[in-house]
Amino acid sequence: TRTPVNVTVTGAAGQIGYALLFRIASGQLLGPDVPVHLRLLEIPQAVKAAEGTAMELDDAAFPLLAGIDVTDDLKKAFDGTNVALLVGARPRTKGMERGDLLEANGGIFKPQGEAINAGAADDVRVLVVGNPANTNALIAKSHAPDVPADRFTAMTRLDHNRAIAQLSKKVETPVADIKKIAIWGNHSATQYPDIFHAEVAGRNAAEVVNDEGWLRDTFIPTVAKRGAAIIEARGASSAASAASAAIDHVHTWVNGTAEGDWTSMAVVSDGSYGVPEGLISSFPVVCKDGKWEIVQGLEINDFSRERIDASVRELEEERDAVRNLGLI
Ligand code: NAX
């Protein structure tokens, strides 16, 4: 039998954690033949709640679940970890300025980056879900100089999946027939969901839609503001869909993108498409043999250029802010 893969989930007692852990334990993160050992990291006040979730995980008797540790200790959470899902973050509360938010999250992602640097397994892969996800990933990465930079990623797969769903409804075509959607930039309201290279049952999506007004006034804002719409409807932020996207992100990273398709991940820029080197920005990527690569050579029209640049500018501002705070 295979040695279990260590999977760390931070913010394990939160609502995304509650949806995520059961899917990891059932084998959906890494595959139906890969046993997992879960490490649940929480802040001291929430350890008891995480222990409750661990009791429920026991009660599900998942054949692939080799063990569960619940802890508030970074070393115990990250030593030997193979996959780290950084979900717990400091949410923006009323009256909080962006600088305060970035500083509070720096207090979380700096020590987590250091703990990953000190103890994680050589093959560690990190997905940051907690917001502001791109910049939190940048902070963690910059405190893990011994870990290859390409192991730090942030989640835009939920945005990617939302874009597929919206396009599917518009063109009345099943989601399975929609390929090559791309999310560019920041996981925020400035993100740019791009259908110019997408395909609907093999045809170019922008041509099938043939409606720039819909693209500009309906599609892009619906995808970018979907999180707020969910809060409005549900009275709570997206949780199961976010967990599902996190599962997709890691599963695709490890197992590869399908032939003729790609996915969206926020990854460290190498300067592609004019995105400054070192920023963690969303790109279309293909994954193969456990590695991602930014899709090259796409033609970017003026409509896209303007929107990619705006989102990247926001990422630069966030980077400059955390730099001025001494967090990177
Ligand atoms: P919850 O508030 O339900 O849970 C967060 C949990 O994190 C809490 O249990 C808290 O105790 C824990 N936590 C806080 N600081 C911690 C630390 N230093 N170490 C370990 N645990 C810590 O939030 P939830 O709805 O689960 O959302 C979690 C994060 O995901 C938020 O930052 C949210 O903004 C972000 N999201 C990101 C998305 C994305 O697409 N990238 C989409 C969904 C979601 O909004």
Rounded CA separation 141/148 (Å)? 9
- C-alpha 34 – ligand 1 centre gap (Å): 26
**In terms of residue numbers, what domain contains 104?**
5-154
Do the domain assignments include residue 326? Answer: no
Atom of ligand 1 nearest to the CA of 107: 18
Residue 242 pLDDT level (bands cut at 50, 70, 90): very high
- Give all strands of the β-sheet with 199-200 in edge-to-edge order: 178-179, 199-200, 203-204
Do 150 and 119 meet the contact criterion of CB atoms below 8 Å apart? no
Q: Are residues 144 and 229 in the same domain?
A: no
Annotated active-site residue 187? The verdict is yes
User: Residue of the nearest CA to atom 36 in ligand 1?
Assistant: 130
Hunting for tokens 């508030």 — which residue is that? 72
Do 304 and 277 meet the contact criterion of CB atoms below 8 Å apart? no
Q: Are residues 309 and 219 in the same domain?
A: yes
Q: Is the whole model's pTM more than 0.90, yes or no?
A: yes
**Residue of 187, 197, 249, 251 marked catalytic:** 187
User: Residue of the nearest CA to atom 42 in ligand 1?
Assistant: 242
Do the domain assignments include residue 83? Answer: yes
Element (H, E) at 268: strand 263-268
User: Residue of the nearest CA to atom 43 in ligand 1?
Assistant: 242
Q: Are residues 135 and 175 in the same domain?
A: no
Cα Rg of the chain (Å, integer) = 19
Residues 305-325 have pLDDT tens digits of 999 999 999 999 999 999 999
- Ligand 1 contact via 28 beta carbon (within 6 Å): no
In Å, how far are 97, 145, 171 from 200, measured between CA atoms?
42, 42, 8
The count of domains in the chain is: 2
Do 199 and 205 meet the contact criterion of CB atoms below 8 Å apart? yes
In Å, how far are 130, 227, 228 from 233, measured between CA atoms?
21, 10, 9
- Ligand 1 contact via 12 beta carbon (within 6 Å): no
pLDDT above 90 for 239? yes
Q: Are residues 163 and 306 in the same domain?
A: yes
- C-alpha 169 – ligand 1 centre gap (Å): 30
- C-alpha 14 – ligand 1 centre gap (Å): 6
Does the interface ipTM go beyond 0.90?
yes
Which domain-ending residue is among 107, 131, 154? 154
Rounded CA separation 30/160 (Å)? 20
Token readout for 208 is 């099938």
Average confidence (pLDDT) over 150-167: 98
Residues 199-228 have pLDDT tens digits of 999 999 999 999 999 999 999 999 999 999
- C-alpha 239 – ligand 1 centre gap (Å): 10
